[in-house]
Amino acid sequence: MTLSKEIALANPPLNLLATSTRTSNQRPGDTIITTRDGAMFHVHFDILAFASPVFCKLLTPCSIHNAFFIDENSSAFFCFMKLAYSRDVPVLGSFLALDNALHISTKYELAIMKKLLRGTLSDPSSSCFLEKDPISSFGIALTHNFQKELAVASRLLVQCINIRDPQALELLRADSTGTQILNMLALRHAKLADSLLSQERGIVIVEDPNVFALLSCESCCATAKSLGLKYVRWMVLWGQSAYETLVSSCITTQDRLFGVGYLLDITTRTPGSCAECRSAIVAHHWAYETWITGVKDQLFESLTTELETQIGLGLDC
């Protein structure tokens, strides 16, 4: 339900036409505005003109003195009046109402009100707090180019949507916002797989032979060289584990993945892992930390660059 419809239901329009712009401290409206669907509004011209830099440009004078026509439907114009007269952000009962109010604020260039409306996405007490509905929040942030909110919503979506779930896929395909979200998540998963699992282009590949030798035992190092590989088994294990974790979480919330302790834990629990390689990693932990930091930076850049290209998103991936 849009903001204008919510207001209209609470205040029948027939009773508001003469009083919609009047409070106990205000004089009656000095100007009549007629919308394209025939509704007439008594408004305070100077107040609306001051609130909106484009208001006057949208009016066509009528034959009656102080009367104008505006090519706008009554519900949208009523929403504009409520936003223009309000000193605070209006109570919004839904994300659809917020989206409508933002569109009206943009059209009429209500810069301060648009800023206040945007703030409801980050207000935990608001009905439109983005954590209450990440999908709707993502759509609004994408439509109105709210980069910070878009990043937060995307992080929440990564955590709450499983694109391996057929039911989730069906719901996402139901509208344009869902399709955009699905494209974002699918691209992210593809980049994760390419970065962490590819044996040819994967970021776990070690180009520096000295680092390679420091972080693996002589036997594993010799085997890898004989096969023309630039990685050993523990690197593959780490890449697989990191992929499974990051499929449903964000790199910015998973620092533990890039610690020595995490690697030692998964290699200890995995049958067939090389104990001598673990000893080499512990002995040369500084080399491991240098390598894993490079891996993390490459992974973050890979994810954010692709998403930034697709939807203008560059944070919290």
Cα torsion angle, 39, 29, 84, 61, sign: positive
Ramachandran assignment for 17, one of left (phi > 0), alpha (psi -120 to 50 degrees), beta (any other): alpha
Examine the pLDDT at 102 and tell me if it is beyond 60: yes
Q: What is the mean pLDDT of residues 214-237?
A: 88
| Spatial distance between the Cα atoms of 22 and 29, rounded to a whole number of angstroms | 7
Which of 131-135, 166-170, 183-187: highest mean pLDDT?
131-135
Question: Can you give the residue ranges of every domain in the chain?
Answer: 3-107, 192-311
Query: pLDDT for 24-65, tens place per residue?
Result: 344 567 899 999 999 999 999 999 999 999 999 999 998 888
Options 3.40.50.150, 3.30.710.10, 3.30.420.40, 3.40.50.12280; which CATH number does 3-107 get? 3.30.710.10
Q: What is the DSSP string of 227-239?
A: TT-S--HHHHHHH
Instruction: Retrieve residue 1's tokens.
Output: 């339900």
Quote the mean pLDDT of the chain.
83
Q: What per-residue confidence (pLDDT) applies to 28?
A: 63
Confidence grade of residue 197 (pLDDT, cut at 50, 70, 90): confident
Contacts with 97 (C-beta within 8 Å, 6 or more apart), sequence order: 1, 2, 3, 6, 128
Examine the pLDDT at 190 and tell me if it is beyond 90: no
Confidence grade of residue 7 (pLDDT, cut at 50, 70, 90): very low
Total-model pTM? 0.66
Q: What per-residue confidence (pLDDT) applies to 306?
A: 57
Q: What is the mean pLDDT of residues 253-272?
A: 91
Examine the pLDDT at 82 and tell me if it is beyond 70: yes
Q: What is the mean pLDDT of residues 223-250?
A: 88
Looking at residue 29, the DSSP 8-state letter turns out to be P
Q: What per-residue confidence (pLDDT) applies to 15?
A: 31
